[in-house]
Structure 1
Amino acid sequence: MIIWKRLLPILALVALLAGCIPTQRQLTMERDLEEMKRRLAASERALASQQNQRGDETSNRLETLSRRQAELQANLDALRLEQQALNGRLADFSQADNELRDELSLVRDDLGLKISAIEDKLAKPTAKPQATQAPVAETPEDLYRRAVAMIRTEERHAEGRDLLQRFLQQHPQHSLSVNASYWVGEAYYGEKKYENAILQFQDVIDKHSDHPKAAAAQLKQGITFQTLGDNQSAKAIFNKLVDTFPLSAEAKEAKRRLSSMS
């Protein structure tokens, strides 16, 4: 299943950290991730079971379908709670946990997509499967995930950026459009096109100042200036980030970088 492929980087990271003495917080997070994977798998199995129901069902089969839908709704509610808990834990990560925090952010995005898909299926009546089905077109969410994977794990920055720009052209109002704009900036950074990255991050900041990715864009913009050796601009951006998003994990990282630059 797609979700397992998305979680492989998490498992690899946990294996890498196994040589170090794990903190209680890391152990707790690993247990939470295992529980989240179990819940996602259960939800996918329930959803697949629902989709395989056929028309002209007897009253007993309808009762079974209703019960499975109720179970699916219960799983969905549990996933929402997991998502809220994960959002809270991400804000507490220190600089030493940055790699794990970034990977968990992607898991959180994937979890949000899975919740949306389940909600959509619950809202639609179960249809009788057709004898022959046309090839399934790539969904906007699949396109987004494929592009981000190219940038994050495959280092195919230009290809991933092209896909994200196509995503933004085709789905400008999608709930993931701000995330896509941010990852375009990350792709430019990976290509060492630092000026383009700075402008792209500024576009996210200017157009979506109240979105969670605005803080991430501001932090990465400051880091990009640091990479260019412009510490004065980097300090100004980090200070603004601390003032604008004082309670964010990005502000904590900005403070750490400011202290190391003084």
Structure 2
Amino acid sequence: MRVLRLTLLALAASAAWVQPAQAGLFEDDEARKAILELRGKVQANEDAAKQRAEQLNGLIQDQIQPLRRSLLDLNGQIDALRAEVAKLRGANEQLARDLADTQRKLTDQSQSVEARLKPLEPQKVSLDGREFQVTPDERNQYEAAIGLVRRGEFADAVAALNAFLKRFSASGYTDSVRFWLGNAQYGKRDYKDAIATFRAFINGNAEHPRAAEALLALANCQIELKDNKTARRSLEDLIKAYPATEAAQAAKERLHALK
């Protein structure tokens, strides 16, 4: 009995020790299982997050690629526009240089033409109390003919003055040319021609400043032709028409000489 009792006590003690140990083992398994489950969930979450991130990255890449291409195209267009602008700027600069050269050439040509035309432009002339326009050629020919008269080259002067009247029939010099033509004819002793010239001058220019001189020259031609009667009448007309002139004073002296 004693042995049996000792055996039962040993079994009881053994059972009491085994039960807590089994309970501890059970608790460790549950914890491990919970940890594994938690670790699995974390891994699953990480995998899901990674997958979602990859999906988002793919979507972003899908959206970025067209934008990159658009930016590349836009940069290409900008570069092309810059090149075109540079080309246009260069063309404009060249056009500006060409325009400046053209304007300079036109200015030079214009000045050259003006310099050539200036001698041909009409010039204002004041003669015998009147002003009128003449061409340089007209003025030169007139002055050349008058120069012949003043140098006493009367034959050449008559030819030059007649040529002037033929070429410049409407010239402002016409009256003066007729007056000097009469004087040249007188100097050449062509008294009849001189009388005709002076008569034409006086009849058409009674108010001309040289009309009195022309009438005196007419009387001198008549005196040279021994036509004293007609000369006396011309001198009397002169004194009556132009009493305050030097020609009238000379006419009085001639009248006295004719008596």
Range into which the TM-score falls when normalised by the shorter chain: 0.3 to 0.5
Q: Which has the larger radius of gyration?
A: 2
Please state which structure has a larger fraction of its residues in helix. 2
Q: Which has the higher contact order (CA 8 A, sep 6+)?
A: 1
- The alignment's TM-score, normalised by the length of structure 2, stands at 0.48
